[in-house]
Structure 1
Amino acid sequence: MENKKEKLLIQFNEAFANGNHQFMLDQVTEDFHWIMIGKKEIKGKTQFAEALKDMKEFNSELELVDVITHGKKACVNGNMKIVAPKAEDQSFSFCDVYEFNSFKDPKIKRMTSYVVER
């Protein structure tokens, strides 16, 4: 059975795959920090909203392999295939490490993403 944080992370990743940016914004803190290893960092909810606006619409297939939570920390790994209408399809595997702001009503405070193209 999924706990509250596991359910949140599954929905968060599905929202990313489906382009539901408002849901994603509703799940992060104002001081949200997203570190994309080897790429860039996004600091703050406002910067996160801008980054989401810049993402092109795409269809995707998402496979979540593991969703692990413990205390205020969590990890999700999986695979995604992006089918872009006017570009070449992309496939990658990812591992995201999360930190929540609290136990009771968790919001995502920090996310570190490791992505490998396949």
Structure 2
Amino acid sequence: MKADNKTILEQANAAISTGNNEGFLAHCTEDTQWTFVGEQTLRGKEAVRAWMVTAYEKPPVFQARQFIAEGDFVTALGTITLPDKDGQATEYAYCDVWRFRDGKMAELTAFVIKP
């Protein structure tokens, strides 16, 4: 049975939470595009891979409170804990809007703020 988009996102997040960047990227299209609203846009799996090396030096801790899935989109709301520039664990609120294509994550629009 083919996994639904919400399940795919949950599997990808489980991989990244253990530090398995490649396991996460296996769920992305080669031309994936990630837009961090107000910050930057990453184009292509290689750009995302390079970003993950520094951004996810320590695996992030996700607390997804809610998923909203419709058609090719899954929205995830929750918190993510990452080290700040001084290495201190810092919690951020996030809203990720993922667009899927052929069972893979093709596009991300991410809103991340420090509450």
Over aligned residues, Cα RMSD in angstroms?
A: 1.9
Equivalences for 1:71-110 in 2 at 5 Å? 71-82=71-82, 87-102=87-102, 106-110=103-107
> Residue in 1 aligned with 2:112?
115
Aligned residues: 112
Query: For 2:22, what is the secondary structure of its paired residue?
Result: helix
Is the contact made by 1:9 and 1:67 (CA closer than 8 Å) also made in structure 2?
no
Structure 1 stretches of 4+ moved >6 Å:
none
Q: Structure 1: where are the runs of 5+ without partners?
A: none
Give the aligned residue type for 2:106: K
CA apart distance, 1:68: 1.6
TM (norm. structure 2) is 0.84
CA apart distance, 1:60: 4.5
> Residue in 2 aligned with 1:39?
39
TM (norm. structure 1) is 0.82
Query: For 2:25, what is the secondary structure of its paired residue?
Result: helix
Residue 51 (str. 1) matches residue 51 (str. 2): yes
Rounded Cα–Cα distance in structure 2 between residues aligned with 1:82 and 1:13: 14
Q: Among the aligned pairs, what percent are the same residue? A: 22
